Amino acid sequence: MTVGSAGDSGTADSRPTVYDLAPNCTRTDVEEGERYHAVVNGVVEYGVFVDLSDDVSGLVHESNLAGSYGVGDRLIVCLDEIRENGDLSFVEETLEEYRTVAVDHDPDVTPVSDLAIGDAVTIEGTVAQIKQTGGPTVFRVADESGIVACTAFEEAGVRAYPDVELDDVVRISGTVEKHDGAPQIEVDSLDALTGDVADAVRTRLEAGLTERAEPHAVEPLIEWPAFEKLRDDLEEVARQLRRTVLEGRPIRVRHHADGDGMCASLPVQLALERFIAEVHEDADAPRHLFKRLPSKAPFYEMEDVTRDLNFALEGRARHGQKLPLLLMLDNGSTEEDVPAYENLAHYDMPIVVVDHHHPDPEAVNPLLDAHVNPYLYDEDYRITTGMMCVELARMIDPTVTDELRHVPAVAGLSDRSKAEAMESYLDLAAETGYDRGDLERIGEALDYAAHWLKYSAGKTLVSDVLNVGCEDEGRHRELVEFLSTRAERDVDRQLAALEPHVEHERLANEAHLYRVDLDSFAHRFTYPAPGKTTGQLHDRKVTETGDPVITIGYGPDFAVLRSDGVRLDIPEMVAELNEEVVGGGVSGGGHLVVGSIKFVKGMRDEVIDSLVAKMADAELDEELSSTASLD
Same domain, 270 and 387: yes
**DSSP string spanning 219-275?**
--SS--HHHHHHHHHHHHHHHHHHHHHHTT--EEEEEESSHHHHHHHHHHHHHHHHH
Phi-psi region of 454 (alpha: psi -120 to 50; beta: other; left: phi over 0): left
Residue 474 lies in a domain: no
Residue 73 lies in a domain: yes
Are residues 284 and 429 both part of a single domain?
yes
Residues 166 and 81 in one domain: no
Residue that finishes a domain, picked among 404, 434, 464: 434
Say yes or no: 225 and 244 in one domain.
yes
- Mean pLDDT, residues 598-609 taken together: 95
Residues 297 and 369 placed together within one structural domain of the fold: yes
Q: Report the CATH number that the domain containing residue 204 is assigned in CATH.
A: 2.40.50.140
β-pair type (503-506, 325-329): unpaired
Q: Residue 129 forms beta bridges with which residues?
A: 140, 321
pLDDT single digits (tens) 65-108:
988 999 999 999 999 999 988 899 999 999 989 999 999 877 88
Is the pLDDT at 622 greater than 70? The verdict is no
Domain boundary (156, 185, 210) is at 210
Q: What pLDDT is recorded for position 626?
A: 45
Residue 99 forms beta bridges with which residues? 17
Residues 307-316 have pLDDT tens digits of 999 999 998 8
CATH number of the domain encompassing residue 241: 3.90.1640.30
Q: Of 104, 128, 158, which residue constitutes the final position of a domain?
A: 104
Mean pLDDT of 144-158: 92
Rounded Cα gap, residues 353 and 337, in angstroms: 11
Mean pLDDT of 157-171: 94
DSSP 137-185: EEEEEE-SS-EEEEEE-SBTTB-SSTT--TT-EEEEEEEEEEETTEEEE
Q: Which residues pair with 48 in a beta bridge?
A: 43, 60
Cα–Cα distance between 97 and 519 in angstroms, integer? 98
What is residue 265's predicted lDDT score, i.e. its pLDDT? 97
Best CA proximity match to 252, nearest among 305, 301, 188: 305
Residues 291 and 352 in one domain: yes
pLDDT range class, residue 287, cuts 50, 70, 90 = confident
Confidence bin at 1 (pLDDT 50/70/90): low
Is the distance from CB of 487 to CB of 447 less than 8 angstroms? yes
Q: What is the pLDDT of residues 204-263, one digit of tens each?
A: 999 999 999 999 999 999 999 999 999 999 999 999 999 999 999 999 999 999 999 999
Same domain, 265 and 381: yes
Q: Who's near 7: CB < 8 A, 6+ residues apart?
A: 99, 100
Evaluate whether residue 627 is within a structural domain. no
The pLDDT tens digits of the residues spanning 185-201 come to 999 989 999 998 899 99
Residues 203 and 218 in one domain: no
Tell me the pLDDT of the chain averaged across its residues.
92
What is the total count of domains within the chain? 4
Share of the chain above pLDDT 70, in %: 97
Sign of the four-CA dihedral 315, 320, 323, 328: negative
Of 68-72, 279-283, 417-421, 512-516, where does mean pLDDT reach its minimum?
Answer: 279-283
d(CA 77, CA 52): 9
Concatenate the DSSP letters of all residues of 74-129 into one string.
EEEEEEEEE-TTS-EEEEEE--SS-EEEEEE----BPPGGG--TT-EEEEEEEEEE
Between the alpha carbon of residue 82 and those of residues 25, 34, 54, 58, 92, the distances in Å are 16, 12, 18, 10, 16
Kindly report the CATH number assigned to the domain that includes residue 567.
3.10.310.40
pLDDT (0 to 100) of residue 594: 81
Give the mean pLDDT of 341-358.
94
Confidence (pLDDT) at 4 = 55
Query: pLDDT-derived band of residue 628, with 50, 70 and 90 as boundaries?
Result: very low
Q: What phi-psi label fits residue 435: left (phi over 0), alpha (psi between -120 and 50 degrees) or beta?
A: beta
Asked if 147 and 128 touch (Cβ cutoff 8 Å), the reply is yes
Say what the pLDDT of residue 623 is: 53
Q: Residues 206, 257: one domain? A: no
pLDDT tier at 535, thresholds 50, 70, 90:
very high
Q: Is 242 a domain residue? A: yes
Q: What pLDDT shows up at residue 524? A: 87
Establish if 152 belongs to a structural domain: yes
Q: Is 493 inside any structural domain? A: no
Smallest Cα–Cα separation from 404: which of 235, 264, 286? Answer: 264
> What pLDDT sits at residue 3?
59
Q: How confident is the model over 511-520, as pLDDT tens digits?
A: 999 999 999 9
Q: What residues contact 539, with CB distance under 8 A and at least 6 apart? A: none
Instruction: Give the Cα separation of 97 and 76 in Å (integer).
Output: 12
The whole-number pLDDT of residue 7 equals 46
Overall average pLDDT of the 130-147 stretch: 94
What residue numbers bound the domain in which 590 lies? 502-616
Question: What per-residue confidence (pLDDT) applies to 629?
Answer: 47
Burial class (CB in 10 A: 0-12, 13-18, 19+), 113: middle
Q: What is the DSSP string of 482-498?
A: HHHHHHHHHHHHHHHHH
pLDDT tens sequence across 105-130: 778 899 999 999 999 999 999 999 99
Q: What band does 11 get if pLDDT is binned at 50, 70 and 90?
A: low
3-state SS string for 413-439 = HHCCCCCCCHHHHHHHHHCCCCCHHHH
Q: Is residue 475 part of a domain?
A: no
**Which whole number is the average pLDDT over 275-304?**
88
Give which of 202, 193, 208 is closest to 246, Cα–Cα: 208
Do 232 and 318 sit in the same domain of this protein? yes
Q: Side chain identity at 336, as an amino acid letter?
A: E
504 neighbors 514 (Cβ within 8 angstroms): yes
Q: Is 462 a member of any domain?
A: no
Do 222 and 204 share a structural domain?
no
In the chain, the amino acid numbered 503 is E
pLDDT at 540 over 60: yes
Partnered with residue 43 across adjacent β-strands are: 48
User: Does 400 share its domain with 512?
Assistant: no
Question: For the ranges 3-12, 95-104, 447-456, which has the lowest average pLDDT?
Answer: 3-12
Average pLDDT of the residues in 43-62 = 94
User: What does the alpha-carbon distance between residue 136 and residue 186 come to, in Å, rounded to a whole number?
Assistant: 10
Q: Taking 70 as the threshold, does the pLDDT of residue 429 lie above it?
A: yes
